[in-house]
């Protein structure tokens, strides 16, 4: 049996978080272990789970109140450089994707 992929979802819209959880629930090897609605909450969850239970992936909205996704991405990469962060955005412009990748994101979903 495959190892479970432990995911943190960071998005300020509850409906988006719920939708992602429903989609990921269909994948038997993926488990959403935490969710957050602000950048500060994402960092707190990463700090709490990064060392104990472990996280395998962060799904992170680029635009959130408080610390935005780019600031959070940079902080995660400083503290946990090997933790993959997949950015989520409604911005179709290429410059957002390029910036995220340059800051260390493993991908950019639009």
- State the pLDDT at residue 51: 58
91 vs 17: which has the higher pLDDT = 17
Span 29-72, pLDDT tens digits: 999 999 999 999 999 999 988 755 589 999 999 999 889 999 99
| Predicted structure pTM score | 0.92
According to DSSP, residue 21 is labeled: H
Q: What is the rounded CA–CA span in Å between residue 67 and residue 86?
A: 17
The average confidence (pLDDT) of the chain is 93
| CATH code of domain 5-85 | 3.40.50.2300
Q: Which two tokens stand for residue 96?
A: 């957002």
- State the pLDDT at residue 31: 95
Q: What are the sequence ranges of the domains in the chain?
A: 5-85
Alpha-carbon torsion 27, 28, 30, 34, what sign? positive
Token pair 């503290």 is at which residue?
A: 79
Q: What is the rounded CA–CA span in Å between residue 24 and residue 39?
A: 21
Share of residues in the chain with pLDDT > 70 (%): 95
Q: For 39, phi and psi rounded to 5 degrees?
A: -60, -40
């Amino acid at each position: 049996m495959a190892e479970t992929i432990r995911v943190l979802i960071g998005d300020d819209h509850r409906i988006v978080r719920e939708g992602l959880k429903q989609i990921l629930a269909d994948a038997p090897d993926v488990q959403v272990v935490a969710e957050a609605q602000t950048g500060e909450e994402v960092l707190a969850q990463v700090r709490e789970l990064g060392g104990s239970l472990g996280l395998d992936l962060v799904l992170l909205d680029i635009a959130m109140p408080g610390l935005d996704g780019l600031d959070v991405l940079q902080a995660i990469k400083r503290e946990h450089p090997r933790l993959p962060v997949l950015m989520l955005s409604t911005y179709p412009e290429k410059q957002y994707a390029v910036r995220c990748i340059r800051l260390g994101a493993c991908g950019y979903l639009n």
